[in-house]
A and B are shown apart, each in its own frame.
Chain A
Amino acid sequence: MRSARTPLAAAAGLAAAALMLAACTTDAPTDTIDASPEESAAASEGDWFDQAEYDRQLAQRDIEPEGPADQPWLQAIEPEWVDTEEYAVEGGDHTVCFSNASVSNPWRVTGFITMQQQVAVYEESGDIGEFRVSDAGDDDNQQISDIQAFVESGDCAAIIISPSTTATLTPAVEAACDSGVPVIVFDRGVNTDCAVTFIHPIGGYAYGADAAEFLVDNLEPGSTVLALRILPGVDVLEHRWAAAQQIFGASELEVLGFEFTGGDAAQIRDTVEQYLQRGEVDGIWMDAGDGAVAAVEAFEDTGNPYPVFAGEDELGFLRKWEETGMTAIAPVYSNFQWRTPIVAAMRILDGEQVPSEWVLPQEPVTEETLPDYLERNADMPSLHYAQFGGEDLPGYPEAWQDR
């Protein structure tokens, strides 16, 4: 994102560059950016909607996950276990390699700290000898060569990949699989199932539906909703919005509009103030919670009553929610998923079974669970995510505080 102030943008300086800049600046924590232009162009309508996947995700929200309830990062929804004996390696001191798309937003920063702390546990126990990380800075080409370098070095006992985009990274992931080393993909997906396990929370449809259903349930029919979006063409964000459109469409709420803000607080405030100027806004739906506080402040500072609000589990927003006592929900894209790939790698190298698709629970923060999450994260900075799931790790809490 910040890397998006690129020479390209500056040199060209005009529309195209600015658009690209916006595209690179995505703060979307979760997203598989799909580079294909047709799909991006068609972004605003229902092309992103996949009924079967939508139904599946909405159903998964109600399925009791397998695994220990107090360790959600180890839980899995309807797992299909696969054998990994072929990958088992005697002894410990493994070299685990991680190709990271980037740490360009607070959600990824939080997750990466959790991951490193999880690694520290295994280093302590002697299971991990070395943890090699390469950060592609949101650059597909960089990540492709990062993965190649891992494969060519021949040192990696397991390769963990958090892909920056779906289609472009697929061949690189396939090449890593072909090298015979176990590959673990998490967060954003790729178009191949060659990885031993693909780890992710339920997904974008569930996120968008959690938020939209809450607004429908808590607003009178005929109320108005403003949707604040980060940017078009990013699949998980589009899935969130596609799900919301389904639910709003079947409701009696009036969607005033959807605005792309790039996650920039100043633009969010500006947009909300302008809508407030045009008329009443009763509810806010966001596809990612970045800058949610700025939206709330727009209502405060213009003297309007608080809207019913769907944000995210970023602590700044959760604190604002508690402080103002407004009606809100915080859908989550489970940040604790950053721990799971390390655990998975250890299991695979021990020859234990793992789910082929490891679907982690994705439970929104509600009014009932809000006090608990606030208390657990009382000393954490505002740009931290409540469901980071690292409270039991040795570096807690300093590692997440001093970032």
Chain B
Amino acid sequence: MTVDQAPAGPPPGAPTPPAERPAAPPALRFLGGASGPVFVLLILIFAGIFTLNPSFAEPPSMMFFLRQAAPLIVLAIGQYLVIVSGEFDLSVGALVGAQVVIAAALIDGEEARTLPVLGVMLVFGLMVGLVNGLITTLLKVPSIITTLGTMLVLSGAIQLWTGGAPTGALSESFRVAGRFGIEDVPVLGQLPWALLILVAVALAALVLMRSSYGRTLVSVGDNETAAAFAGARVWLVRTGAFVLSALLATLAGVLIGGYAGVTAQVGDGLEFAAITAVVLGGVVLGGGRGTVVAAMAGALAVEGLFTLFNQLSLPSTIRPSVQGLIIIAAVAYAARQGSLPWQRTRPRAPRTVQPTRR
């Protein structure tokens, strides 16, 4: 997957098949463009952490860090799919919370119920994604409103159902994925299941973005009219992104529930953490540009940054403020992209037809 998925200047009005920009050599492309800074930032953050606390660089510590970062990276992948197609998914935090609370209430500590309940969660995630996608695409409700509504509906419904606070308990086997791993691996110590799951999801996401679906998704985000002319079923493509986002949120719920157990606050604020990660990765809000690798790097950077703050003994209450600043700075930076002289080589696809999409 290359850094730049944006269609390279097609003739006006023509369909824009997403083509990779032939120019710059990979190394330059890696550092150029909107996604470049995230990798530099990632290196700086980890250099900072390792300097402050060399023991963090030891493989077992890194394993713990990656296990803890896995849910956010999974969420960032889902959020990337939605954002690159030109939409938002604000419901993922509430969905994570809802899924964990549902799991605890339905499993209620009974091992035998683990698998059936995982099935229920999958179906529930699928439904939430479908509702988000169909309302956004068919009813033409802006996704920021659709998913905001879903977020409120979910948290309200869960509150109504549980009487205000979560009940029940997760089973031990439910918690394996988020909490445990393969023990006694040479060098690494414990190889967390969460990390293996994350690697599998990341590979699947890479393959997906290289597939025709992935390319269509990006071109829909870049210019939906053009994509529609090119034969893409825009509503179907976008609905697919919402469904995948909801399913990944479900997976993140399984990992977080496993990692920490059930409390009333599970999932709070995760939608913003995921969006922060994605924009930090240089993925452009409004769609059409940015890579899933950069989004994952963004999630790692966000987690790394919080670790760095902890190493610097900064209070954890600083996190929301920093998150807010990152969102603004990253979006501002991305907005400048292309307006700077040395970035002229990459024209945006002309938005000749102003779509009447909303």
Contacts and interface: CB of A to CB of B under 8 A. Distances in A.
B152 A15 contact: no
A19 interface: yes
Nearest to B69: A270
A175 B108 CA distance: 45
B152 A5 contact: yes
A34 interface: no
A109 B165 CA distance: 7
B266 A271 contact: no
Given A274-B310, A381-B168, A403-B167, A10 B151 contact: yes
Interface stretch (B28-36, B115-123, B232-240, B323-331): B323-331
Interface string B162-201: 1111111100000000011000000000000000000000
Nearest to A20: B320
Contact of A25 (B56, B169, B268, B310): B268
Contacts of B317: 19, 22, 231-232, 260
A383 B262 CA distance: 9
Nearest to A104: B164
A4 to B, nearest CB: 7
A22 B315 CA distance: 14
A105 B164 contact: yes
Contact of B164 (A16, A102, A269, A278): A102
A106 B166 contact: yes
A278 B256 contact: no
14 contacts: A1-B264, A2-B264, A10-B151, A19-B320, A108-B165, A231-B317, A259-B315, A259-B316, A265-B260, A290-B263, A293-B261, A316-B261, A383-B167, A383-B262
B165 A15 contact: no
Nearest to B189: A303
A3 interface: yes
A25 B269 CA distance: 11
B169 A14 contact: no
Contacts of A2: 97, 155-156, 158-159, 164, 264
Nearest to A298: B260
Nearest to B263: A265
Contacts of A157: none
A301 B179 contact: yes
A1 B265 contact: yes
B64 A21 contact: no
A173 to B, nearest CB: 23
Given A271-B310, A383-B165, 13 more contacts: A5-B151, A10-B148, A13-B275, A18-B321, A19-B317, A106-B165, A270-B68, A274-B311, A291-B263, A297-B260, A301-B179, A316-B169, A382-B169
A13 B307 CA distance: 22
B159 A3 contact: yes
B165 A13 contact: no
Interface of B: 53, 55-56, 61, 64, 68, 71, 90, 93-94, 97, 108, 148, 151-152, 155-156, 158-159, 162-169, 179-180, 256, 259-266, 268-269, 271-272, 275, 306-307, 310-311, 313, 315-317, 320-325, 327-328
Interface residues of A, number: 59
Contact of B148 (A7, A14, A104): A7
B33 to A, nearest CB: 25
A282 interface: no
A401 B256 CA distance: 25
Question: Residue among B159, B179, B260, B265 with the most chain A CB within 10 A?
Answer: B265
Given A3-B159, A22-B320, A301-B179, A11 B264 contact: no
B264 A105 contact: yes
